[in-house]
Amino acid sequence: MADINIPSSPIRKNDSAYQIECKFALEPSLTRLFEKARSAGWDPQHIALAVAALGWELLVDQRDRMQCEGCGIEH
């Protein structure tokens, strides 16, 4: 996978420029992943849905971990 550029500034909620910069940074790696999955025989629509679902699951897991810090529950 390609290196991913770091953000040019701290997280800015609801800033479309930050979101565009993040998308630009991730695009080469995701394109390679998508092409590898297609080459393996996966359907493009299912690839896109799987990537979106995995992204959502990672986000929810990270949120849960942050909310549970110090609560004594291991993830």
| Residue labelled with tokens 């990537």 | 51
Question: In Å, what is the CA distance from 55 to each residue of 19, 51, 60, 71, 72?
Answer: 15, 6, 9, 25, 26
Output b/e per residue, 24-61; b: 16+ Cβ within 10 A. ebeeeebeeeeeebeeeeeeeeebeeeeeeeeeeeeee
| Residue labelled with tokens 């297609």 | 38
- How would residue 12 be classed by pLDDT, with cut points 50, 70 and 90? confident
Q: What is the pLDDT of residues 25-44, one digit of tens each?
A: 999 999 999 999 999 999 99
The chain-wide mean pLDDT, for the chain, equals: 87
- What pLDDT sits at residue 36? 97
